[in-house]
Amino acid sequence: MTTADPGARPVRVRLAPSPTGDPHVGMIRQAIWTWLYARHTDGKFILRIEDTDQTRSVEGTVDRILDSLRWLGIDWDEGPDVGGDYGPYVQSERKALYQEAANRLLASGHAYRCFATAEELREMREAQQAKKLPPRYDGRFRDYPVDQAEARAAAGESHVIRFKMPQEGTTTVTDLLRGEVSFENKELDDFVILKSDGFPTYHLAHVVDDTAMEISHVTRGEEWLPSAPRHVQIFNALGYEQPVWVHSPVILGPDGGKLSKRHGAKFVLEYADDGYLPDALFNFLTITGWALDDHTEVFSRERLIEVFDLADLSKNPSGFDQTKLEWMNGVYLREMPEEELVDIFRQRLERDLPADIARPLDEALIESFTPLVRERLKLLAELGPLVEFFFRDTVPTPPNEDFLVKKWKERAADASAALGTVVKFLEPVDPWATEGIETAMRAAADELEVRAGDLFALVRLAITGTRISPPLFESMEVVGKGLSTERIEAAAAQLGAS
Ligand code: GLU
């Protein structure tokens, strides 16, 4: 594949989220790709908050965007909290710049004031709909005398400023992934660049800021491609150099529709809560729509920084593969150095285990079961229920019907006797270690003439209280001889009493 030639301009790329809701996977994937490209090229990654649509801003989302990025290990060289030479990095604090650009466009004849009221515009749209025409601004103030417009504005009359789109010819957007994409100018109406409240629209604000911040590549979702000819026109009208355009394809649900919650897509901080590892989500999102070759899926972050290139992004939408994400998380859990994993487990368990288990948790205990459970987990959220029995002196013996299945169906007395035999065989085991425990348990099964698996199922329930647990003999070693024996005896007594 060709590379995204950084060209003459130093690489400065940005993530420009609007604080209209919690960050979803599409936005975060854009952040990851853009960040990787900045790190790959030794460029700068800039965070800019686009809050000019005050009606859509949602309280608290800026913090959640920042927290989500931090959780994923994405840092920014310039941004609202860290500052930088091109600040401020919040659009609502840059109003004067947009007003100045709008004034320049007015002065050069590329823009005009429009005094049409909301009511008037609604009637215009209704009339268009009645004629089955697409709704669009009809240019009613395009040729309005400038001196009259200025007088009305000076008198304080509410109005917007619109960009005067050429009515003929085409506008071509040169996109890194798609090549030259041309749009008929006559299809595009005179759009608003400055609203009546003095705030710019995205169209103007993005051009002004990406220029002022010397952004070399505008990386954004393909939903912006239809607006891109407008942006190209504003760049040209202001005499600004265009950035490299990179409109990346969307993520779809597995059914080919828009990705949504029902496909398992979540907000980033929900993934954190569910127990995904940030590196796994990072890796997964990177490869959802980007590939190095036709087989490599697991990449360290260092490797991604080395090989990632915007030019290799897919041109087609990619499907969100929840199963792959879970698999990937399991891979990261298994490959993580043990010490790190113990620490992650400890933090997770401090949060997840029931409050009656004393804190701080026993670190040595966590170290002892970490190798037993790491192979079995896909999500950290599964950890608590899987290991709770290690932290308890007594686990309630499950009801008889949990024991009396398969081989033991309706044979409570046999099950009780079998557990009694196990206790007898375990008694001489010394040292209390996995190997000796296993030998004793197999000998007990031989003596009882039952399949080892059938016997172990009883013991597993007695020891862990559940049917699914970490490996049995290793777990018994961690639980210890005294408690293991007590739990088996308790189960034998309960089954014998029935
Ligand atoms: N503020 C826009 C959004 O959140 C960003 C588009 C862009 O990256 O330019 O959709």
Domain of 318, CATH number, reads: 1.10.1160.10
User: pLDDT in tens for each of the 498 residues of the chain?
Assistant: 445 555 679 999 999 999 998 888 999 999 999 999 999 999 999 999 999 988 888 889 999 999 999 999 999 999 999 999 999 999 999 999 999 999 999 999 999 999 999 999 999 999 999 999 999 999 999 999 999 999 999 999 999 999 999 999 999 999 999 999 999 999 999 999 999 999 999 999 999 999 999 999 999 999 999 999 999 999 999 999 999 999 999 999 888 888 877 777 788 889 999 989 999 999 999 999 999 999 999 999 999 999 999 999 999 999 999 999 999 999 999 999 999 999 999 999 999 999 999 999 999 999 999 999 998 898 999 999 999 999 999 899 999 999 999 999 999 999 999 999 999 999 999 999 999 999 999 999 999 999 999 999 999 999 999 988 999 999 999 999 999 999 999 999 999 997
DSSP code at position 159:
-
- Please name the residue that has the structure tokens 């029935």: 498
Distances in whole angstroms, Cα of residue 74 to Cα of each of 33, 330, 343: 10, 22, 21
Instruction: List the Cα angle 210/215/217 in 5-degree steps.
Output: 110
Candidate of 13, 32, 50 to mutate for ligand 1, largest count of ligand atoms within 8 Å of Cβ: 50
Which ligand 1 atom minimizes the distance to the CA of 219? Answer: 8
Structural domain contains residue 271: yes
Q: Based on the fold, state whether residues 350 and 321 are members of the same structural domain.
A: no
Candidate of 18, 34, 199, 242 to mutate for ligand 1, largest count of ligand atoms within 8 Å of Cβ: 18
Which ligand 1 atom minimizes the distance to the CA of 27? Answer: 4
111-114 and 44-47 strand pairing: unpaired
Q: Based on the fold, state whether residues 398 and 467 are members of the same structural domain.
A: yes
Q: Based on the fold, state whether residues 324 and 400 are members of the same structural domain.
A: no
Q: Based on the fold, state whether residues 316 and 399 are members of the same structural domain.
A: no
CB 462 within 8 A of CB 422: no
Q: Based on the fold, state whether residues 454 and 376 are members of the same structural domain.
A: no
- Please name the residue that has the structure tokens 């890194």: 176
- Please name the residue that has the structure tokens 């960009």: 163
Distance 284 CA to ligand 1 centre (A): 22
Which residue, of 349, 373, 390, is where some domain finishes?
A: 390
Q: Based on the fold, state whether residues 369 and 411 are members of the same structural domain.
A: no
Which ligand 1 atom minimizes the distance to the CA of 30? Answer: 8
Q: In the prediction, which pLDDT does 295 show?
A: 96
Q: Based on the fold, state whether residues 274 and 292 are members of the same structural domain.
A: yes
Structural domain contains residue 58: no
Instruction: List the Cα angle 489/494/498 in 5-degree steps.
Output: 145
Which residue, of 290, 316, 334, is where some domain finishes?
A: 334
Q: In the prediction, which pLDDT does 6 show?
A: 52
Cis, peptide link before residue 19, omega less than 30° from 0: no
The upper half-sphere exposure of residue 487, i.e. CA atoms within 13 Å in the direction of its Cβ, equals 26
Structural domain contains residue 489: yes
CB 471 within 8 A of CB 372: yes
Show the ligand 1 pocket: residues with CB < 6 angstroms.
16-18, 50, 206, 220, 224
Q: What is the pTM of this model?
A: 0.88
Distance 303 CA to ligand 1 centre (A): 28
Q: In the prediction, which pLDDT does 121 show?
A: 96
Which ligand 1 atom minimizes the distance to the CA of 14? Answer: 8
CB 246 within 8 A of CB 219: yes
Distance 269 CA to ligand 1 centre (A): 20
CB 432 within 8 A of CB 478: no
Candidate of 94, 201, 206, 217 to mutate for ligand 1, largest count of ligand atoms within 8 Å of Cβ: 206
Cα–Cα distance measured from residue 462 to residue 473, given in angstroms and rounded to the nearest whole number: 13
- Token pair for 225: 């491609």
Structural domain contains residue 234: no
Distance 16 CA to ligand 1 centre (A): 5
Candidate of 61, 68, 220 to mutate for ligand 1, largest count of ligand atoms within 8 Å of Cβ: 220
User: Of 190, 188, 185, 181, which Cα lies nearest the Cα of 170?
Assistant: 185
What is the span of the domain harbouring residue 286? 261-334
Which residue, of 334, 351, 373, is where some domain finishes?
A: 334
Structural domain contains residue 283: yes
Q: How many domains does the chain have?
A: 3
Structural domain contains residue 187: no
Residue 498, domain CATH: 1.10.10.350
Q: Based on the fold, state whether residues 404 and 491 are members of the same structural domain.
A: yes
Structural domain contains residue 473: yes
Distance 91 CA to ligand 1 centre (A): 12
Cα-trace Rg, the chain: 32
- Token pair for 2: 């060709």
User: Of 322, 97, 329, which Cα lies nearest the Cα of 206?
Assistant: 97
Q: In the prediction, which pLDDT does 264 show?
A: 72
Q: Based on the fold, state whether residues 438 and 380 are members of the same structural domain.
A: no
Q: Based on the fold, state whether residues 329 and 359 are members of the same structural domain.
A: no
Q: Based on the fold, state whether residues 405 and 368 are members of the same structural domain.
A: no
Q: Based on the fold, state whether residues 468 and 482 are members of the same structural domain.
A: yes
Q: In the prediction, which pLDDT does 5 show?
A: 58
Q: In the prediction, which pLDDT does 2 show?
A: 44
Residues serving a catalytic function are 261
Which ligand 1 atom minimizes the distance to the CA of 220? Answer: 8
CB 383 within 8 A of CB 280: no
Q: In the prediction, which pLDDT does 1 show?
A: 40
Structural domain contains residue 397: yes
